[in-house]
């Protein structure tokens, strides 16, 4: 049987680096540190090697589908599948950024939501039974969903919402932002928050779909690692990257047969709908 393997996206620094660091110590298999820059990823791997750890590296730009396909093909050939996928790569504009909101909306959603979705669509077919997937989201999605209009919020929380519907809503937000009408159309005034609503709702749908898959015991969760000291937070967060890695790593290492936490699609049960509306994030 092929050796087990874990992939962490956007892992040359920050929370992704912390997750790789922890998995190298706790995961029984090879751990791949991936990112856009070969130089930065190799430097990160070298730092981890100084701790006696043995991460591996593979190029991956989640905005470039060709690199995603190359990673998939490599994993199929060398490992015949994937056991762990942590979708950590993403971007956020600083609060003081002078980039127009229209551009922020377009670029943030393109990477955080559509890029992550492309990674999932490409790699999910080679997930092995008992695989674990963690989509890094944010409590910003919880804040953002409350800032949406009742109509928009209800669409995101539809019990039978589909991936295509989520894609359409996120694209509608981007299009509205291009002409400064996103708030008029009921969307929150936050590109980062809207992108993470997409990621979290996507997670519920993915688990619903996986529940009908022939492969056994594949679990997909979304989580917020907390406010961590990273470049993205301008190093203002109270948590270290090691502390930020705790929740994602816990979810990655869930034992076989785990029933909770396990992202659930909305089953139509009123209690489940209220839970989703209240938290949106595990």
Where in the sequence numbering do the catalytic residues fall?
A: 192
229 vs 214: CA distance, rounded Å: 40
279 vs 263: CA distance, rounded Å: 12
Q: Residue with structure tokens 């008029």?
A: 184
209 vs 216: CA distance, rounded Å: 12
4 vs 261: CA distance, rounded Å: 22
- Which of 136, 142, 145 has the alpha carbon at shortest distance from 111? 136
Token pair of 63, please? Answer: 């905005």
What is the number of residues in the chain?
Answer: 282
CA-based R_g, the chain, Å: 18
Handedness of CA 163, 168, 171, 177 (dihedral sign): negative
């Amino acid at each position: 049987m092929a050796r087990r393997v874990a992939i962490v996206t956007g892992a040359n620094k920050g929370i992704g680096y912390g997750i790789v660091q922890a998995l190298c110590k706790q995961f029984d298999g090879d751990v791949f540190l991936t990112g856009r820059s070969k130089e930065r990823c190799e430097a990160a791997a070298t730092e981890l090697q100084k701790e006696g750890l043995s991460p591996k590296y593979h190029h991956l730009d989640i905005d470039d589908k060709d690199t995603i396909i190359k990673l998939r093909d490599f994993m199929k050939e060398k490992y015949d599948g994937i056991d762990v996928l942590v979708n950590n790569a993403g971007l956020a504009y600083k609060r003081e950024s002078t980039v127009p909101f229209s551009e922020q909306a377009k670029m943030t959603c393109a990477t955080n939501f559509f890029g992550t979705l492309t990674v999932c669509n490409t790699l999910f077919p080679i997930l092995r039974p008992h695989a674990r997937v963690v989509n890094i989201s944010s409590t910003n999605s919880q804040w953002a969903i409350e800032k949406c209009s009742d109509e928009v919020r209800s669409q995101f929380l539809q019990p039978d919402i589909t991936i295509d519907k989520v894609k359409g809503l996120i694209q509608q937000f981007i299009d509205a932002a291009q002409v400064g009408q996103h708030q008029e159309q009921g969307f929150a005034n936050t590109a980062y928050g809207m992108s993470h609503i997409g990621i979290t709702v996507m997670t519920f749908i993915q688990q619903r779909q996986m529940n009908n898959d022939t492969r056994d015991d594949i679990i997909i969760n979304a989580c917020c690692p907390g406010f961590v000291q990273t470049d993205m937070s301008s190093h203002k967060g109270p948590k270290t990257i090691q502390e930020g890695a705790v929740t994602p790593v816990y979810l990655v290492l869930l034992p076989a047969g785990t029933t909770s936490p396990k992202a659930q699609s909305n089953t139509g049960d009123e209690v489940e709908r209220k839970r989703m509306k209240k938290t949106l994030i595990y």
